[in-house]
Structure 1
Amino acid sequence: MHDHTELTQDRIGHLKERLEREITKKICPLDVTAWQAPGEPVSFEEAVVADYCPFPPGTWWGAPWSTWWLHVTGTLPEGHAGDEIDLSMDLGFVGDWAGNQSEAMVYTSSGRPLKALNPRNHRVALNHGTLTQRFADEGEPLIGTDGGIELWVEAAGNPDMTLHLGGPTELGDRRTAGDEPLWQFRGAELSVRRKEVWDLWLDIDVLDGLMRQLPSDSTHRARLLHGLEQAADEVDLHGILAGAGQAREILAGHLGSGANSSAQQMTAIGHAHIDSAWLWPLRETRRKVVRTFSNVVSLAEEYPDFHFACTSAQHYAWLQDSSPELFERVRDAIERGQWHPVGGMWVESDTNLPSGESLVRQFTSGLRWMREQLGVRPDCLWLPDSFGYTGALPQIARLAGMNWFFTQKLSWNTANTLPHHTFWWEGIDGTRIWTHFPPVDCYDSIVSADEVKKAEANFKEKGVARRSILPFGYGDGGGGPTAEQVERVHRFADVEDAPQVRLGSPDDYFAQARDDYPQAPVWRGEMYLEFHRGVYTSVHALKDGNRRAEEALTAAEWLAAAAARLGHPYPHEQLEQLWRRTLLLQFHDILPGSSIAWVNREAIAEFTAIRAELGQLMDEAWQALSQASEGEITGASLINPSHSDRREVVTVDGRPTLVQVPAMAAQPLADAVVDPEHPVRVERELDSIRMSNGLVEVCIDTHDGLVSSVVDLVADRELLLPGQRANRLVLHPDYPDCFDAWELQHQYRHSAVVVDDLTGVDVLEGPLRSTVRVERGESGFIQAITLDADSRAVEFSLDVDWTEQARVLKVDFPLDVAADTSVDEIQFGHIKRPIGANTSWDDAHFESCGQQWMLLGEPGYAVALANQSTYGHDVSPAGGDEHTSTQGVMARLTLLRAPQSPDPHPDRGHHHLVYSLLADAGVASAHVEAARLNQPLQMRDGALHLDSLARIEPVRGFAVIDSVKQAFDGSGDLVIRMHEADGTRSRVRLLLDRGGYLSEVDLLEERIGDPTQQLPTVAVSEVDLALRPFQILTLRVSQR
């Protein structure tokens, strides 16, 4: 027979386009008037009493970030009895991104939330559907008995920031965005929704899409094309309704043709990834939650088999505050088993930058809120879009009660692909969590045939496992699933040559997948994302603000717990709210610095406010302790908020003073002052300045201001490579191909400019502290190199008024250690990362993220680099060439970046950065040095002695106390969290200031059914603990 394949395919394509246009039939336009709210959004009650002006089609509206209220009125003409009537409104939509342009929320005449409008969901059912019927039953029909219609629309004039991700724009902050309107209103109208046409369009869409995915010589493809042609023959384009039924009957056989016996089983789960902030401010996310949830809960009410997974306790809390009625509808959907709160976290956090304790609190705050307000305790960690996943996460998640982990972000890798989609992920301590990556490689499928077939072909476990997840629904800025997508799922339920796609819940999938795949493989360690490496550094003020807030939170909890021992009320609610505010700022587009200027500005200010409020809580706790103290309390005290005993130099009344304070304790200043054993001496030579304290000697070349030598005098060892200079500042061009704030791409290394414009070297010397100050003229860099008495660390600081654009600043440390790996601190432990590029995996890992220190060493000796708020770094081989056998490493901290999008001016302004080089280092000494930089001793009025509530004495190995606080439940019990930090089987002794009954608990402070410790059954004040490598242990101490 003759081949008319291409002609027939074109015919089907044109028919599909025609049918889509015929789904609705216009009846009449509606009248619209408008009012622009001055400033920020207002309530419905305030909006409806404002003065409105005519708003005809063609009107330009929507200055960036403005809010407009539209009053929509009209009358349905007679003659439409039995018709399904829709309102359709076009705010001026461009393209089809549902959440990154103008969008709106429709309310009834009495202010009840009805429906959200976006480019992919811009019709409102007025007399059909479950919600419409409910309103009518409750006496509020959307079409009155006289045909009258009255609705209110809150429209957001949000700019489409995706148009500017390739370059700078001032649209990302209302203060700089201007008043030029962005959107042109196209009108509102009534139309008849013709369901028969919609159903036929969907049938053809699914089968035509599947047909085009099959091989050209496939028999099934030919059969599908013939069936589609037969259906097309039944459709009279002059009277489409007449033939729609017959056409659907023809296609029904193909839609129910029966899946192949080996067909994959895909669980389709509705999803609406809503970034808590990104290309819009936090205040807009509150409204996005209302818009998205209104559409999704209506979908759940319309389709009883529909399932929806949704994360972030913060979003539910916003909904509860913004729209109580809608919140109750969501709770009803949860009770029906259709809506599934997942994730368990307060927000979808970044997992590389926050501390371990912060990640714990993401779960404790999120899970406790969900249990109290939603009546559920999720067990699936759903984190689809964070920028890589720390190797500590499996243990944290399992201790929080998580059984499953879901993400798709590793599909963004640029060089290497993980070899699994379904597997066990094993963390640094050996804890495993069942993990699934959806093979569709996204979290916002539209359930198109090409996506379904891609997932089928891409699934790495095919042949040994059959089940996968298909997350569908518009995302990033919200929007969520649509009825069209649900209908596509129904049509893919049982089709030949396609996976069996069925609606289901996360629990449905994970329970069945684990049972069906008992021999799943294991991936060990971190899951590094080969993308978005710049976020370890972008917007340094956020990183610094977060680190300071984290340290202040745990310090305030410990001091408040001490004060509570003496009757001072423990500020449970204040601390919880401050934690939640911090956790929100750790969202995976806020803390990484990948949001618009508005978000960055507010987050930096919020970190400052959080620290101020924590300072007030600490003042109140200290005052309570002072008032309860017996005897003389004049003078001053030093508080050590860290887990380590401290012996260091501090500044008292402008003078360096050497002090010694136990861990998590306070001591009168007079008792804390000690004499130095190794004072500092300074020698000036012709071309150098040499500082030495008998432990370490550091030499600064006065010609270039760089460090030319660092000698460990105890080990008699030079730490720098021969002829090399340390603390050298290097600027690299930083022009990523895409995603400015996110990306640091390998080509930055192809060019470098050394900051060498030296203008002066000064020395401030003294026996307790000596500092060499280096000024660099035109660049505005001021470096300080400091050596303290009794210290094996050389401290470096940098002050700079940063004005660069598209540059990244690094600082070099060429170290004479034969290291094959860098040991980088991460949450609750550390990880070894290869130095060099032997494999494509190593080569792609050219920038790393760590917490507060990294160790570089060889057998018997190591040095550490500690930081105050610098996360990004790289380490590469250095020192050897064809003439020498010196083996060393070049360690570089990434100090600042200067991306231009989405924030055009991030990091502009003054920065103070601090880092240090520690000689003869180990895990324990690196922790102590990091504590010195990050948890400074605090001076307080009143000479008060305060013992540690809990402290650790090492017996073998090393462990760290991470938090000491009162229990969440208000019982007054003390909760102590610690972790094994050395990576070995350690034994430590826990000492309590007050005896009590100990129990091992999970992160929610509930008893563990299978404890790891044999704890005494009587009250004790000390106990020996055996810890596995990197084990997190939480103990509860009660008085019963």
Structure 2
Amino acid sequence: MTEKEYQLQQTRVMKFYCRLPEYFLEDARIFEGEIAVSTGPIAYEQRQSLRYEAISEGMPWGKLWDSAWIHLAGEFPESWKDREVIFQLNVGGEGLLFDAQGVPFYSITNTSSLVRHYRKEYVQFGSCTTPGKFELWLEAAANGLFGREEDPDYPDQHGDFGSIRKLRYGLFRREVWALALDLEVLMSLLHFPHTAGDFGFPETPAFPEGSAREKQLMRILSRAVDCFAGNPENATVARAILAEALQTPALASAMTVTAIGHAHIDTGWLWPVRESVRKAARTFASQLMLMERYPDYVFGASQPQHYLFIKENYPALYEKIKQRVAEGRWELQGGMWVECDCNLASGEAIIRQFLHGKNFFRDEFGIEVKNLWLPDVFGYSAALPQIIRKCGCDRFLTQKLSWNQSNKFPHHCFRWIGIDGTSILSFFPPEDNYNATLVPEMLNYGVNNFSENDTIPEIISLFGIGDGGGGPKEEYLERGIRCANLEGCPKVRFGRADEFLERLGKYEKELPAWHGELYLELHRGTLTTQAEVKRNNRRCEEMLIAVEKLYAGRDLKEYPARELDRLWKLLLLNQFHDILPGSSIAPVYERTRKEHQDILESCAKLMAALKDKSDCMTFVNTLGTPYHGLVKVPGKEGWLPLTLAPHESRTLHTFDSENIVCLREDRVLENEFLRAEFSMAGELVSLIEKSSNREMLSAPANVLKLYHDRPNANDAWDIDSFYVNEELADAVWCTKITPAKSGSLWSELTLEFAIGDSTLRQTVRLAKGAKELIFATTVNWQEEHRLLRVEFPTSIHNGKANFDIQYGFLERPIHRNTSWEEAKFEVCQHQYCDLADSAGGLALLNDCKYGVSVHENIIGMSLLRAPTYPDKTADRGEHEFTYALMPHTGDFREAGVREAAASLNRPPLMIAGGLKAWKLPVKLETFSGSVVLEVVKKAEKEDALVVRCVERHGRFGRCEIHFDAPYRTITECDMLEWNPVGKAMKSGAEVSFRPFEIKTFLIK
């Protein structure tokens, strides 16, 4: 066979394959139907109350996000008895079929402009056992698999929603369908252009180009086409010809692929959260049907929140899931409530993801999940390994780092070691995909790409269509069956992910190690986009912990456990990895804002419920560290200086906040620790730490810079490195400086700026006794595709800086020596970053900003973005945020940088009317000063206190834990409060901590 003959036959086979769906239906008929359209979902039980009208193929029925109930009627003739029936349904959106009892049983997905093979419109109904009339109910949604699927930067990508395209049923020519699958597998072995273009993975042919085996297979394919000869009755004979190739076994040395059915469902993204409820139902219903047809098939799904959606909205479906879980056919995956963002969520919030997630799986199914399942999260904090381990998991799976923009991550199976030294066995599926397809070419790519294929003889494949695509289709399972033992590809077997991950343990000692964070070299803009959501998320995190401590200081009979459980779960849902990062559509954030407001208002009500009726005000410091700063008293002018010990409450009966005593006609703020001078341009031109008489700046600082912000792709997600070359130099100017107000308690200077079409106002404040210069900022932001940053050139030279992360800090290089360091031009911080040398340094504190860069001597922080996709109004409007500069001598830990940042983020609770007697029954006496009492709450399952302590300085620490009656014993336990660690101790017991260790105790 010459090269030209080969190409001729290849084209012929491919065109034949594409024609085969025309033969799937025999004796095709059109459904009679009627439809009732609504703007939102209507429950199955209420569908009959709607107004219906007749429909037919070609009829438009709704606009984006509309819903509909479609009633379909047909008739099976007597000649169809005991023959297989198939439906072809395409309603221009997603759909879910219900049986006569109102239980969902199969889904369709008709629009996906991105990947054609994601579409699903054939429903294999089964045998016609009872000829005669029948009817169906279909719930439809006028949206694509990926929501709207329309990016304004790419207008050619769009979906055709809400249009009736196919309403047909007929006899199922299973042999023709099977012939198409036989061809598909063999075409993939030969790397047909069709397979690569449709499935979207790198070229990985099974046989060398021009090899004898390649030509032999092409001849077999061509003979099958000859035999079919345009007659579907010849499909069986054509398949017999192909069987010659499909029955040739794999090499004895071929690797094994454990294939697990999967459907990654984003809790909110390019569709509202309400649609995720139905996406979960569509997916889960379809997989239950497939399990009936394929006895070896195993499906898995993560996120307890999704199971709760099903339990609350589709109880009969939920009971079927529980049955399959009990049989081992349905795998519960991942310990978190949702697959949450792991850059922005606080350490305690991540622990609560596990606490609520694993409790749900245990309570509902009697199963403890032992893995963390996060295929799609945008980077992983170096604090995670310890949290994963102490929440009862010892395996971690993701694939997201395969998306790296610059550097290829060197491992797929490795030991991930966190800041405290905890090691977690981690696996990245080497197909670089969590929507795998089980075609030979993709399987071959996976085993060849697997970095540890010289040590480990198997990989895992997460196959199926996520985000409402219904998970795997029948076609995917059929491919897996054909590839079970096939020449030219690895051996495929269906199995469970947890068993695969457990088998990896025997190789653990041979695996490489990776220390520190798993930084994704992409999606850096998610540290900044949707700033209001990020601010409110942090406020909610801090407030919930504070209210828990408030009630822990009272009789536990008063503890609002049910309400706090509800509020935590609202927060955890909104920490999903496309919600909190800012990469969702506007309707998602409309809900998030309401739920954040619900949390904050509900916490305020819980606080108010404890107030006394006296004419006073109580301030409660819920931090495990001292609070020192100014507080604003409602209804009073000026500020009140306040210093509180850890967990101290103070009731005040008078509020003599000092008035301003003079106006100074200069631009200097000064107290006993700092002297700050501003220029007429509103820049900070000098910042002197007075005890050392050190100038902290090398050039004007607090410089606001505006950049053109147009990433190459992924508008809301990305900041590309070239943004620094596109500064809009004349877009920022100071419009007004109000001279410093000075009193004996504080000084203030007001700066006002015009920034493009926006305005920014800063009140720069320095309090008596304070070591921080505060920048309280409000912005009216009206930009589009702009990035606002603030920069602080320092006089400090060092090769590294420290960044606050969850329950610890991370030291990062701040030079650009290698491509790995170049890629980290924007990194994540939580409440502070610190740049220092041996004499001292400068810390930048913040109350809601996460994106930061420290390059050589310049600290820069991203303040606001203005993307237009997927939310065209993202970030426009009013914003409030505060940051602070804190010069210090010596080490930042002894200087109290973390404590100052904590005070900025969680000021004392203010309870008007006073607080009935309050005293936290737990006290920490620390010998190293580095162990902090972070959490005190009621235990989840019993009347006991849970106490969480953290070593914050990265050093060995010791403390004593004291507690009051009626509490008698304290026992260390895991973070889930399930399992004790060691023996019970009495009050005053001394406890040792490793660097950055988090310890949880149960006090009974």
- Whether TM exceeds 0.5 here: the answer is yes
SS of residue matched to 2:415: strand
SS of residue matched to 1:25: strand
Equivalent position of 1:84 in the other structure: 84
Q: Is the alpha carbon distance of 1:68 and 1:526 closer, same or farther for their aligned partners in structure 2, counting shifts above 3 Å?
A: same
Equivalent position of 1:1005 in the other structure: 977
Equivalent position of 1:126 in the other structure: 125
Asked whether 1:766 is paired with 2:753, we answer no
SS of residue matched to 1:21: helix
Q: Is the alpha carbon distance of 1:680 and 1:873 closer, same or farther for their aligned partners in structure 2, counting shifts above 3 Å?
A: farther
Equivalent position of 1:975 in the other structure: 946
Q: Percent identity?
A: 34
Equivalent position of 2:854 in the other structure: 875
Q: Is the alpha carbon distance of 1:215 and 1:366 closer, same or farther for their aligned partners in structure 2, counting shifts above 3 Å?
A: same
Equivalent position of 2:993 in the other structure: 1027
Match for 2:452 among 446, 461, 464?
A: 461
How far apart in 1 are the matches of 2:728 and 2:739? 24
Alpha-carbon RMSD across the aligned residues, in angstroms, is: 2.4
Q: Is the alpha carbon distance of 1:45 and 1:612 closer, same or farther for their aligned partners in structure 2, counting shifts above 3 Å?
A: same
1:28 to partner: Cα distance: 1.0
Task: Kindly provide the amino acid, as one letter, of the partner of residue 1000 in structure 1.
Answer: E
Match for 2:151 among 150, 158, 165?
A: 165
Q: Is the alpha carbon distance of 1:839 and 1:365 closer, same or farther for their aligned partners in structure 2, counting shifts above 3 Å?
A: same
Equivalent position of 1:49 in the other structure: 49
1:495 to partner: Cα distance: 1.4
Q: Is the alpha carbon distance of 1:943 and 1:373 closer, same or farther for their aligned partners in structure 2, counting shifts above 3 Å?
A: closer
Asked whether 1:640 is paired with 2:621, we answer yes
SS of residue matched to 2:392: coil
1:671 to partner: Cα distance: 11
Q: Is the alpha carbon distance of 1:638 and 1:454 closer, same or farther for their aligned partners in structure 2, counting shifts above 3 Å?
A: same
Equivalent position of 1:224 in the other structure: 217
Cα deviation code 1:355-403 (max 9, x no counterpart): 0000000000011011111221111111000101111111111111112
Task: Kindly provide the amino acid, as one letter, of the partner of residue 84 in structure 1.
Answer: E
How far apart in 2 are the matches of 1:414 and 1:400? 32
Identify unmatched segments of 5+ residues in structure 1. 93-101, 129-142, 173-179, 628-632, 878-888
How far apart in 2 are the matches of 1:810 and 1:477? 38
Equivalent position of 1:986 in the other structure: 957
Cα deviation code 1:877-926 (max 9, x no counterpart): 2xxxxxxxxxxx11011110000110001111111110001121623612
- Check whether the contact 2:784–2:868 (CA below 8 A) recurs between aligned residues: yes
1:835 to partner: Cα distance: 0.4
- Check whether the contact 1:659–1:672 (CA below 8 A) recurs between aligned residues: no
- Check whether the contact 1:19–1:201 (CA below 8 A) recurs between aligned residues: yes
SS of residue matched to 2:858: strand
How far apart in 1 are the matches of 2:551 and 2:129? 60
1:517 to partner: Cα distance: 5.7
How far apart in 1 are the matches of 2:728 and 2:166? 56
Normalised TM-score (structure 2)? 0.93
How far apart in 2 are the matches of 1:470 and 1:345? 21
SS of residue matched to 1:731: strand
Q: Is the alpha carbon distance of 1:592 and 1:682 closer, same or farther for their aligned partners in structure 2, counting shifts above 3 Å?
A: farther
Equivalent position of 2:502 in the other structure: 511
SS of residue matched to 1:200: helix
- Check whether the contact 1:309–1:339 (CA below 8 A) recurs between aligned residues: yes
Match for 1:740 among 711, 715, 739?
A: 715
Match for 1:617 among 597, 606, 610?
A: 606
1:650 to partner: Cα distance: 1.9
1:572 to partner: Cα distance: 1.2
Match for 2:862 among 894, 901, 918?
A: 894
SS of residue matched to 2:271: coil
Within-5 A mapping of 1:113-152: 113-119=104-110, 120-128=119-127, 145=130, 147-152=132-137
Task: Kindly provide the amino acid, as one letter, of the partner of residue 705 in structure 1.
Answer: G
Q: Is the alpha carbon distance of 1:60 and 1:491 closer, same or farther for their aligned partners in structure 2, counting shifts above 3 Å?
A: same
Equivalent position of 1:6 in the other structure: 7
- Check whether the contact 2:638–2:657 (CA below 8 A) recurs between aligned residues: no
Cα deviation code 1:604-643 (max 9, x no counterpart): 12101111011112222x24xx59xxxxx65222111212
SS of residue matched to 1:668: strand
Q: Is the alpha carbon distance of 1:319 and 1:24 closer, same or farther for their aligned partners in structure 2, counting shifts above 3 Å?
A: same
Identify unmatched segments of 5+ residues in structure 2. 111-118, 192-204
Asked whether 1:649 is paired with 2:630, we answer yes
Equivalent position of 1:396 in the other structure: 387
1:248 to partner: Cα distance: 2.8
1:26 to partner: Cα distance: 4.3
Task: Kindly provide the amino acid, as one letter, of the partner of residue 455 in structure 1.
Answer: G
Equivalent position of 2:115 in the other structure: none
Equivalent position of 2:794 in the other structure: 815
Equivalent position of 1:587 in the other structure: 576
Match for 1:923 among 868, 893, 900?
A: 893
SS of residue matched to 1:816: coil
Equivalent position of 2:734 in the other structure: 757
Equivalent position of 1:133 in the other structure: none
Q: Which one is further off, 921-930 or 292-301?
A: 921-930
Equivalent position of 2:922 in the other structure: 950
How far apart in 1 are the matches of 2:50 and 2:584? 34
Task: Kindly provide the amino acid, as one letter, of the partner of residue 631 in structure 2.
Answer: V
- Check whether the contact 1:68–1:156 (CA below 8 A) recurs between aligned residues: yes
Asked whether 1:569 is paired with 2:558, we answer yes
Normalised TM-score (structure 1)? 0.90
Q: Is the alpha carbon distance of 1:168 and 1:578 closer, same or farther for their aligned partners in structure 2, counting shifts above 3 Å?
A: farther
- Check whether the contact 1:681–1:692 (CA below 8 A) recurs between aligned residues: no
Equivalent position of 1:21 in the other structure: 22
Cα deviation code 1:555-612 (max 9, x no counterpart): 11111111225xx421111111110010000000001110001111211121011110
Equivalent position of 1:70 in the other structure: 70
Match for 2:880 among 901, 912, 928?
A: 912
1:1025 to partner: Cα distance: 1.8
Equivalent position of 1:856 in the other structure: 835
- Check whether the contact 1:166–1:738 (CA below 8 A) recurs between aligned residues: no
Within-5 A mapping of 1:400-439: 400-439=391-430
SS of residue matched to 1:350: coil
1:232 to partner: Cα distance: 3.2
Equivalent position of 2:762 in the other structure: 783
Q: Is the alpha carbon distance of 1:839 and 1:672 closer, same or farther for their aligned partners in structure 2, counting shifts above 3 Å?
A: farther
Within-5 A mapping of 1:30-45: 30-37=31-38, 39-45=39-45
How far apart in 1 are the matches of 2:533 and 2:508? 43
How far apart in 2 are the matches of 1:167 and 1:9? 36
1:942 to partner: Cα distance: 2.1
Match for 2:528 among 526, 537, 540?
A: 537
Q: Is the alpha carbon distance of 1:167 and 1:60 closer, same or farther for their aligned partners in structure 2, counting shifts above 3 Å?
A: same
SS of residue matched to 1:892: strand
How far apart in 2 are the matches of 1:205 and 1:865? 58
How far apart in 1 are the matches of 2:32 and 2:561? 53
Within-5 A mapping of 1:165-204: 165-167=151-153, 182-204=161-183
Q: Is the alpha carbon distance of 1:853 and 1:123 closer, same or farther for their aligned partners in structure 2, counting shifts above 3 Å?
A: same
SS of residue matched to 2:106: strand
- Check whether the contact 2:335–2:369 (CA below 8 A) recurs between aligned residues: yes
- Check whether the contact 2:709–2:719 (CA below 8 A) recurs between aligned residues: yes
How far apart in 2 are the matches of 1:168 and 1:595? 17
Task: Kindly provide the amino acid, as one letter, of the partner of residue 862 in structure 2.
Answer: T
Task: Kindly provide the amino acid, as one letter, of the partner of residue 613 in structure 1.
Answer: S
- Check whether the contact 2:974–2:980 (CA below 8 A) recurs between aligned residues: yes
Match for 1:792 among 760, 764, 771?
A: 771
Asked whether 1:803 is paired with 2:789, we answer no
Cα deviation code 1:962-989 (max 9, x no counterpart): 21001101x2211101211101112223
1:146 to partner: Cα distance: 5.0
1:673 to partner: Cα distance: 9.7
- Check whether the contact 1:166–1:739 (CA below 8 A) recurs between aligned residues: no
Q: Which one is further off, 800-809 or 457-466?
A: 457-466
How far apart in 1 are the matches of 2:414 and 2:948? 30
Match for 2:243 among 240, 243, 252?
A: 252
Cα deviation code 1:135-189 (max 9, x no counterpart): xxxxxxxx684510111111111266564334499x99xxxxxxx9943212311
Within-5 A mapping of 1:829-868: 829-868=808-847
